[in-house]
Chain A
Amino acid sequence: MASPLLTAEEQRVFDDRLAEILSHYPSDRKSAAMLPALHLLQSMKGWLPPDGMEMVAHKLEVSPERAYEVATFYVMFHIRKPGKYVVDVCTNLSCSLWGAEDLLAYLEQKLGVTAGESNGTWTLREAECLASCGTAPCLQVNEVHHENLRSRAAVDAVFARLKPAS
């Protein structure tokens, strides 16, 4: 049998947190909780597997297509399993004016993965402006922000602090 989406304990945690989220919305507007619910699931699973989107849709009383439509619209939701680390590098204008293209090329070489692609450990993506233009260039690793990455040494320091990929 395929392994279940969440263990019984995890499902309890999910259900409790979802109940709290639903209390933020009018009782006839459950589906408003779609983004928070998908964030919650992704924080537990690392991505949004198909049966996970179905589970969320079921809890919010909408069709699975609704969950899928939302999950595919927003770049932070992963509908395919990403690498252990998702690295989003801003290459928008202000960051490029402070070396972001070099930064991206350096990371491709350092991590051994082409931008836009994934291996088991790394998913490397170009990102749009991350509101760090005054402290450019910048990137995020698994939603944690790093800025002022002007030099290879600064980048190396960020990556040296990551837990080694198991």
Chain B
Amino acid sequence: MPLAAEKIITRNWGRPDSWTLDAYKGTGGYATLEKVLGMQPAQIIDEVKKSNLRGRGGAGFPTGMKWSFVPKDSPKPKYLAVNADESEPGTFKDRYILENDPHMLLEGIAIASFGLGVHTAYVYVRGEFRFQAERLQKAIDEAYRAGIFGKKLLGRDFALDCYVVRGAGAYICGEETGMLESLEGKKGWPRLKPPFPAVVGLFGCPTVVNNVETLAAVPAILQKGADWFAKLGPDKSGGTRMVCLSGSVNRPGVFKVMLSTTVRELIESPDFGQGMPPGRKVKAVIPGGSSAPVMTADELDVALEFEALKQIQNMAGSGGVIVMDDATCLVRSLWRVSRFYAEESCGQCTPCREGTPWMTRVLRKLEEGRGEEGDIETLLNVAQSIAPYPPMGLGQTICALGDAAALPVHSFVVKFRQEFEDHIRLGKCPFGDKPWGHYGAMTA
């Protein structure tokens, strides 16, 4: 049975000039916006609630519920801040939405803004996405010319402006309050919550922060109905989702899957990853971006879905699935992951600022063959003092970057302890100068 899911967000990809207004309108684009302008704003929020849409940025928070936290009678302006920072290692889906179908996102933005009473939306695009930011800007310009954005939303008495803001290279600006600080023109130091952005966000005003994929799903929900969307998924999460498969598989890429699809199916199905490289087996998989705990080859029959992964003390996160084969050194892999968090820690909270470079130094020491007894305990202790685990979510820091740095260390060390001990015992990396698995070397 083919596993590929019904195309929702990807339905226009691959059509000629799919990123243009003409192409988008040619497949019914913006007709849903026209329709919802005849609805009560509260009805829009209700539909999204009923659809069980959950945020695709990482935390999986129910979107309709988030929208309903925005105070209805606030005298302050309200904002929509669209998270196109896409910097979680292993994640590469939002870029394709921006490249292939920016108008689907823009229609989602317009519908959300009308429902929420928002008159200004900012799309925060990571600085490295210059091409994507330019393509999005062109789509916005087209939408202004077509009377979608501007003083009147499709002729209605509702002003809506939409602006692109480019980041400048900082993972922490994907964290929603780090992003708000950056949108305010500052360094991206996350804010203590509560208050949550829906109440006190950008410029001190109520602000909804949503991921690109989340908002791109909104037009389809209002077109085909909340029930249709909810029924596609299990109990508490509606729709299908995009997962990003990378690492040691024959066909890496972004795939639209049912929420019932398991990690094993994703790797093996001819529709998706097409299996492991010749002669290789799965050793380890990170299922939700590098911030998620690692899983062993015995855990692969879990669905790529928020609740299912939560039950095994893991997370669906951003949908970034990274596969490591049995020729890959996991000490080397974890060292690289830890170096990322040390580099990207914003420096605000002591456990994260001090702990991330500490863990990185210990891992380097192990990989370079200088490991000593006690190093593994040190790693676990430091990780534990940034964020105790399990369960998830006990971090000691202002934002979840601390958890994100600690979870991989806990899980790699606990689940693959033997490999760490081997490095100490042998006084060198058992994989020698080929630590990166089947595809890990350059060719001529």
Q: Are B337 and A70 in contact (CB under 8 A)?
A: no
Query: Does B369 sit within 8 A of A, measured CB to CB?
Result: no
**A135 to B246 alpha-carbon distance, docked (Å):** 8
Give chain B interface residues in 167-210, CB to chain A under 8 Å.
Answer: 167-171, 182-188, 203
The stretch of B26-34, B124-132, B262-270, B358-366 that contacts the partner chain: B124-132
Q: Are A24 and B336 in contact (CB under 8 A)?
A: no
Assuming the contacts A29-B184, A102-B442, asked whether A76 and B127 have C-beta atoms less than 8 A apart, the reply is yes
Q: Are B444 and A152 in contact (CB under 8 A)?
A: yes
Q: Are A128 and B254 in contact (CB under 8 A)?
A: no
- In the complex, chain A residues whose CB is within 8 Å of the CB of B126: 131
Query: Does B436 sit within 8 A of A, measured CB to CB?
Result: yes
Contact with A along B309-334 (1 / 0, CB 8 A): 00000000000101010001000010
Q: Select one of A92, A94, A97, A145 contacting B128, CB under 8 A.
A: A145
Query: Does B69 sit within 8 A of A, measured CB to CB?
Result: no
Q: Are B246 and A94 in contact (CB under 8 A)?
A: yes
Query: Does B1 sit within 8 A of A, measured CB to CB?
Result: no
Q: Select one of B130, B161, B184 contacting A143, CB under 8 A.
A: B130
Query: Does A112 sit within 8 A of B, measured CB to CB?
Result: no
Q: Are B130 and A136 in contact (CB under 8 A)?
A: no
Q: Are A93 and B187 in contact (CB under 8 A)?
A: no
Query: Does A160 sit within 8 A of B, measured CB to CB?
Result: no
**A36 to B133 alpha-carbon distance, docked (Å):** 13
- With a 10 A CB-CB cut-off, give which of B166, B247, B337 has the most chain A CB atoms: B247
Give chain A interface residues in 116-164, CB to chain B under 8 Å.
Answer: 127-136, 140, 143-145, 150-153
Q: Are B340 and A92 in contact (CB under 8 A)?
A: yes
Query: Does A96 sit within 8 A of B, measured CB to CB?
Result: yes
In the complex, the number of residue pairs spanning A and B with C-beta atoms less than 8 Å apart equals 169
Contact with B along A49-80 (1 / 0, CB 8 A): 00000000000100000100110011111000
Query: Does B46 sit within 8 A of A, measured CB to CB?
Result: no
- In the complex, chain B residues whose CB is within 8 Å of the CB of A36: 165-166
Residue of B nearest to A97 (CB): B247
Assuming the contacts A34-B185, A152-B443, asked whether A74 and B337 have C-beta atoms less than 8 A apart, the reply is no
Q: Select one of A24, A60, A151 contacting B443, CB under 8 A.
A: A151
Residue of A nearest to B247 (CB): A97
Q: Are A133 and B336 in contact (CB under 8 A)?
A: no
Query: Does A82 sit within 8 A of B, measured CB to CB?
Result: no
- In the complex, chain A residues whose CB is within 8 Å of the CB of B131: 144-145
Q: Select one of B77, B245, B336 contacting A93, CB under 8 A.
A: B336
**A69 to B248 alpha-carbon distance, docked (Å):** 40
Q: Are B246 and A70 in contact (CB under 8 A)?
A: no
Q: Are B169 and A136 in contact (CB under 8 A)?
A: no
Assuming the contacts A34-B185, A129-B89, A132-B92, asked whether A96 and B170 have C-beta atoms less than 8 A apart, the reply is no
**A136 to B444 alpha-carbon distance, docked (Å):** 16
Q: Are A151 and B444 in contact (CB under 8 A)?
A: yes
Query: Does A41 sit within 8 A of B, measured CB to CB?
Result: no
Assuming the contacts A97-B440, A131-B87, A131-B95, asked whether A76 and B246 have C-beta atoms less than 8 A apart, the reply is no
**A152 to B129 alpha-carbon distance, docked (Å):** 25
Q: Are A35 and B91 in contact (CB under 8 A)?
A: no
Q: Select one of A75, A102, A106 contacting B168, CB under 8 A.
A: A75
- In the complex, chain A residues whose CB is within 8 Å of the CB of B320: 133
Least Cβ–Cβ distance between B296 and chain A, in angstroms: 17
**A130 to B87 alpha-carbon distance, docked (Å):** 7
- In the complex, chain A residues whose CB is within 8 Å of the CB of B88: 129
Query: Does A26 sit within 8 A of B, measured CB to CB?
Result: yes
Q: Are B203 and A29 in contact (CB under 8 A)?
A: yes
Q: Select one of B86, B186, B336 contacting A96, CB under 8 A.
A: B336
Q: Are B129 and A94 in contact (CB under 8 A)?
A: no
Assuming the contacts A128-B340, A131-B92, A132-B92, asked whether A151 and B442 have C-beta atoms less than 8 A apart, the reply is yes
- In the complex, chain A residues whose CB is within 8 Å of the CB of B87: 128-129, 131
**A134 to B322 alpha-carbon distance, docked (Å):** 10
Give chain B interface residues in 423-444, CB to chain A under 8 Å.
Answer: 436-437, 439-444
Contact with B along A87-120 (1 / 0, CB 8 A): 0100111101111011100100000000000000
Residue of B nearest to A88 (CB): B128
Query: Does A84 sit within 8 A of B, measured CB to CB?
Result: no
**A108 to B89 alpha-carbon distance, docked (Å):** 24
Q: Are B128 and A98 in contact (CB under 8 A)?
A: no
Query: Does B57 sit within 8 A of A, measured CB to CB?
Result: no
Question: What are 17 A-to-B residue pairs whose CB atoms are below 8 Å?
Answer: A73-B187, A74-B168, A75-B168, A93-B290, A93-B337, A94-B90, A97-B437, A99-B436, A101-B436, A128-B340, A128-B344, A131-B94, A131-B126, A133-B90, A135-B92, A136-B246, A153-B444
Q: Return the 7 tightest CB-CB contacts between A and B, nearest first.
A: A34-B185, A74-B168, A102-B442, A133-B246, A73-B187, A75-B169, A76-B169
Q: Which residues of B contact A (CB under 8 A)?
A: 77, 86-92, 94-95, 122, 126-131, 161, 163, 165-171, 182-188, 203, 244-248, 252-254, 286, 290, 320, 322, 324, 328, 333, 336-337, 340, 343-344, 436-437, 439-444
Q: Which residues of A contact B (CB under 8 A)?
A: 24, 26, 29, 31-36, 38-39, 60, 66, 69-70, 73-77, 88, 91-94, 96-99, 101-103, 106, 127-136, 140, 143-145, 150-153
Known A93-B247, A143-B128; 8 more pairs at CB < 8 Å: A94-B322, A98-B247, A129-B87, A130-B128, A131-B91, A134-B252, A136-B252, A152-B443
